[in-house]
Structure 1
Amino acid sequence: MPRRELLTSSERLELLAFPTDEGELIRLYTLTKTDLAFVRQHRGDHNRLGIAVLMSYLRYQGRVLAGDERPHGPVLDIVAGQLGIPVDVWDVYAERDATRRSHLLELLPRLGMEQFGTRHYRSISVWLDPTALQTTRGIVLAQTVVNELRRRLIVLPPVAVIERLCAETMTRAQRKVFALLTEDLNLEQRTKLDQLLEQREGSPYSALSWLRMPPGAPTPRAVLGHIERLNAIRDLGLSLEVGHKLHQNPLLQLAREAGQTAVYQLKEYEQARRHGTLVALMIETAATLIDEIIDLNDRLIGSFFTKSKNKYERAFAEQGKAINDKVRLYARVGAALVDAWEQGRDPFAAIEAIVPWDSFSASVKEAAELARDQDFDAQDLLVEFRRLEKEAEKLLTGTT
């Protein structure tokens, strides 16, 4: 059965709300000379004010005032002011329902409007179908109906009727969505979808709950776990392209509702709804898993580089004294060599005057071990490079 309560209380008020800008109200509800001449053909201030207000409501609101409804205060003030009639006169007119009905019959042909009937209900309902396939918001559908009825110069029915029309159209649209999502499923795929709602072997969770588990911390295990989930969805053999047959809004809404529904409740859905809902959820879950796998991988690579950098900085700090000793030694050796060159002395003797040759030779080997590459880059300390390479290979295989 279609849902009866489609709009909230505030949305019902919003649907037929008047402009809040005073200038806009004056622009809309200012009577023309022709309007004034027509109004003044009627006898008595109460009749003139009454038919003028009814005409204004029909023309700009597209609806008839209910028998017990008092006009919107600012509109009543604007219309009464133009006629030079006190606002209180409305109370006299409101007591005469027969006069109001007579005026309505007089106004409809004058404004080129017609009363809403069964044929309009059916026509608008069918016309609304494409919009109902694009949105799941009741207020959007209701406002679309109101705008179309105004455009066609059809008097708006009560809001309850508009709600019912939109609810029935949404129900038809939902059935169409389920049909589009499930029309290509074979018996094996339907069986696999139902198995998602059963407990996973060796786990306290259902297969569906397992597929939708959050990724957790960025670790190789988390990446592999998500790739396994993605492959499990691919093993269902669903054509994920089915999502292109539908507007994104109902697809996301179905997936969101399914994500908030307990497994036992999904089991109770009739077959078309259950399978359609699960297909929508799998399409959305697959897309989410790919995004999360890429994010996990980015964060994991970032952690590898951070660890490598920290290791490099620790090693550099630990080797600082040795590096400083070497720099000071080579500064002295360099100065001795420059002096020997300038004075024509033996350079090797100059070195041995500062440090024994065996010690100098050993210090050169130590310096080579302390040195970094030309770019002073820490990547050569990336001892987990092979592990990183394997993870990248798994990522590319799992997400393509």
Structure 2
Amino acid sequence: MILNRRELLTEQQREEFISIPFEKDEHQMSVFYMLSIDDIEIINKHRRDFNKLGFALQLALLRYPGCSISNMKNIPYSVVKYIADQLDLEPEVFNLYAERDTTKREHLEEICIEYGYRNFSKDEDKFLFEEILNYAMENDNSTFLIKKALEILKKARIIFPAMITIESIVWFARENADNITFKCLTENMSSAQKNLLDTILTPMDDMVTTYLSWIKSAPLNPSSKTFKEIIERVNYIKSLELNIDIKSIHPNKLRYLSRLGYKYDAYALRRFEEIKRYSIMAVFLTDLNGELIDQAIQVHSKLMISLHSKGLKLRDELNVKSSKSANEIMHLHVKLVKAIDTAFSEKRDISKELENLGEWAIFKESAYSAEKIIRPLNNDYLDLLDSSFGNLRKYSPILFKNLDFHPSNNSTSLINAVNVIKDMNDNNKRKIPDDSPIDFISKRWKNHVCNEDGTINKRYYEMAVLTELNNAIHAGDIWISDSKRHKNINEYLISDEDWKSTCLKNEAGISVSLSIDDYLKERQETLLDKLQYVSKNSKNLEDVSIEGGRISLKKLEKNVSEESEKFNSMIYGMIPKISLPELLLEVSEWTHFEQHLTHASTDKPPKNEEIPILMAAIMALGTNIGVQKMADSTSDITYAQMANISEWRLHDDALKKAQATLVNYQHHLDLAQYFGDGTTSSSDGMRVEVGVSSIYADKNPHYGIGKGLTMYRHVSDQYSAFNINVITTNSRDSLYLLDGILGHESELQIEEHYT
């Protein structure tokens, strides 16, 4: 089916919007189709049974789904019977009502007068357009906007027009919202800035790679070279001096435009109208700039971890290497102490006792040997980091010069130290000023930073600053300009202006005091009560003991009866054996989840011929065999087709919507109700080894010595007999979870953790 440009839905989707999906749900039937006493009085004014039932059905359909009886192709028999039973009528008499269109129109006019409904006209057209425009400024999804349009019409008691009319209004609202957004983004953009944006789409000196491709392809292996290359891209974006006003644009809109910038290559962007092209590129580059800064901080964090890991490893190697010599020295030390102790206790001449031990030169030599292998009393490794300072200097001046750090609370001293090093780098100074701040430095660092003569060791001072800076950034004590992950915490909060202007402080309905002193006092009292309760009842806790300040839990024993095991085996035996492709296609027929995997650019759902390709791509990525191997094993689907589908349809927004469809379907299954009410969840993870160097991959002793990523999924307590986890990846964000063919919760939240 080829859709007109202003048609946003397929014929099947149009029918679903005005269908009655709950004809077997007694609760929902009672909510929408239970007639009141007043309704029955009005209905009984009509003489014939089929007119009474027809009038009642017209009223019911206007309440839900909101359209006239003429627009309903199929009215479920259960709905007809439900309403007929309330009127003590036979459902079959409704067939007589369908014969006269005049009666239908007259009854519709009567309902409009009695209940305040009105037909859709030009005034309603304008009203709906203005309402939808507000939503379109926030969300580009056509299905969402059409649902909102139907909700608005239903709330205003406006009878639904033809779905194609609503689609046209939504289409125009989206176009206007885009134009308003594009104008807002480009109205202050100078000609010079636009020329620079066009330059990004041109080839670089190698005449092969465009600047756009170069910016997108930042390396991810943690090294000082990688840090430099990331900062080069950050500085290139800063040189454009975009400074676009994005505060007035909804974050959803910005994410949508940024996603288009990630997806489109230079040749595709050149085809757009200028205003759209510049808007997409401006938002994309602003968003990418924040991500690049975050990547630079991630590289710095990895390098600092590597620095300290190297120190730990070197210390352990020295301990092993010197263990033999240390053992020999300890034996001599024991003899020496015993000889001296004997001389003191028996009041003998110490010099004679020492002569009896043998040659004094041996003991003297052991002392000098001990001095060579001796370690600090706390056996720390910081004294071994001096040799690694040169590696840090390969990127640290770039870090201090190009990233803007700001204190969030009491980190002013650390920021001042950063500025001291930055000034030294800019002016080629070699000596740390004596008045440089050191109060942020921990005691273990001060032993190396502060020399005996009162001066400051430049190498250790800079290493201490880099270490504390990394810790403060991840703790949220320091924020970075233009960063996405490490931005000012106040940006997550309601601004003071909004708080005052909207009087949210009076309307928010917050259940705690707005005074920090009152809140802390209340929490302290609550904590004290809980501690006292635990103290009084600790002896009564089953399988729990509290002794010596330690809590001990008794090990849980396996307690599964033989009957349960047999029942479990019987249940599994009842589940049919089915291949993953068959199951995926079958679930697609049940739920039509693939209709939410819309194209990132056109927002169109997949057509019939695209669905098998889409399923193959989901399987290829979900089973980690890759698109290329899947293409090799299929005769009718090519690598190019699956690569295109993966890039344009398996993006994060589409996956979340498809996932919501799957878990909502499961939620309404009878079997799911036996596995809980959905208020609790369980989490598990999947470890994926990474064969290449990546800033997001790390070692985890629990999984061996290889580097990898651990992906965690959070699933509610409702499961069904069929539960398959499909893991997908794409080129940009690397990890997404398409949870289960069957799951729970209307919107499953997905979190990515890297360990």
Change (3 A) 1:362 1:132: same
Partner of 2:31: 27
Residues in 1 aligned to 2:327 and 2:103: alpha-carbon distance in whole angstroms? 106
1:237 alignment partner AA: E
Partner of 1:45: 49
Structure 2 residue 274 is matched with structure 1 residue 271: yes
* Greater helix share, structure number: 1
Residues in 2 aligned to 1:67 and 1:278: alpha-carbon distance in whole angstroms? 44
SS of residue paired to 1:184: coil
2:200 alignment partner AA: L
Contact 2:18 2:67 in 1 (8 A): no
Residues in 2 aligned to 1:329 and 1:12: alpha-carbon distance in whole angstroms? 93
Residues in 2 aligned to 1:9 and 1:339: alpha-carbon distance in whole angstroms? 104
2:304 alignment partner AA: I
Residues in 1 aligned to 2:306 and 2:55: alpha-carbon distance in whole angstroms? 76
Residues in 1 aligned to 2:351 and 2:9: alpha-carbon distance in whole angstroms? 97
Partner of 2:6: 4
Residues in 2 aligned to 1:10 and 1:364: alpha-carbon distance in whole angstroms? 90
Residues in 1 aligned to 2:15 and 2:299: alpha-carbon distance in whole angstroms? 47
Q: Pick one of 163, 167, 177 that aligns with 1:163.
A: 167
Q: Deviations over 1:285-325 (max 9, x none)?
A: 01111111111111111111112211221221111111111
Structure 2 residue 172 is matched with structure 1 residue 132: no
Contact 2:340 2:350 in 1 (8 A): yes
Q: Deviations over 1:246-298 (max 9, x none)?
A: 11111111111121112101011111011111001111101111111111111
Contact 2:332 2:363 in 1 (8 A): no
Structure 2 residue 230 is matched with structure 1 residue 234: no
After the TM superposition, which residues 165-204 of structure 1 pair with which residues of structure 2 at under 5 Å, given as runs? Answer: 165-202=169-206, 204=208
Cα root mean square deviation, aligned? 2.1
Contact 1:29 1:79 in 2 (8 A): yes
Structure 1 unaligned regions, length at least 5: none
Residues in 1 aligned to 2:9 and 2:286: alpha-carbon distance in whole angstroms? 29
Q: Deviations over 1:187-241 (max 9, x none)?
A: 111111001111122473211111111432111111111111111100001115x
1:247 alignment partner AA: H
Contact 1:46 1:93 in 2 (8 A): yes
Q: Tell which structure's C-alpha radius of gyration is larger.
A: 1
Partner of 1:287: 290
Contact 1:197 1:207 in 2 (8 A): yes
After the TM superposition, which residues 306-385 of structure 1 pair with which residues of structure 2 at under 5 Å, given as runs? Answer: 306-382=309-385, 383-385=387-389
Name the TM-score, length of structure 1 as normaliser. 0.93
Q: Deviations over 1:40-71 (max 9, x none)?
A: 22122211111110011113432212356232
Partner of 2:598: none
Q: Looking at both structures, which has the greater relative contact order when contacts are Cα pairs under 8 Å and sequence separation is at least 6?
A: 1
SS of residue paired to 1:268: coil
Contact 1:254 1:277 in 2 (8 A): yes
Residues in 2 aligned to 1:106 and 1:296: alpha-carbon distance in whole angstroms? 71
Structure 2 residue 59 is matched with structure 1 residue 66: no
Q: 153-162 vs 339-348, which deviates more?
A: 339-348
Deviation at 1:355, TM superposition (A): 4.4
Contact 1:266 1:274 in 2 (8 A): yes
Deviation at 1:158, TM superposition (A): 2.0
Contact 2:118 2:158 in 1 (8 A): yes
1:372 alignment partner AA: R
Q: Deviations over 1:94-131 (max 9, x none)?
A: 22222212211221111111100122112221232222
Residues in 2 aligned to 1:134 and 1:352: alpha-carbon distance in whole angstroms? 92
Contact 1:116 1:154 in 2 (8 A): yes
Paired positions, count: 398
Change (3 A) 1:48 1:317: same
Structure 2 residue 84 is matched with structure 1 residue 80: yes
Q: 106-115 vs 58-67, which deviates more?
A: 58-67
Structure 2 residue 142 is matched with structure 1 residue 144: no
Residues in 2 aligned to 1:393 and 1:65: alpha-carbon distance in whole angstroms? 74
Deviation at 1:389, TM superposition (A): 5.7
2:349 alignment partner AA: D
**Percent identity between the two aligned chains:** 27
Residues in 2 aligned to 1:178 and 1:92: alpha-carbon distance in whole angstroms? 56
Contact 1:29 1:56 in 2 (8 A): yes
Deviation at 1:39, TM superposition (A): 1.3
Change (3 A) 1:247 1:332: same
Deviation at 1:23, TM superposition (A): 1.5
2:258 alignment partner AA: A
Deviation at 1:182, TM superposition (A): 1.1
1:36 alignment partner AA: I
Residues in 2 aligned to 1:348 and 1:220: alpha-carbon distance in whole angstroms? 60
Q: Deviations over 1:145-192 (max 9, x none)?
A: 112112222111122221211111011111111111111111111111
Change (3 A) 1:36 1:143: same
Structure 2 unaligned regions, length at least 5: 405-755
Contact 2:18 2:72 in 1 (8 A): no
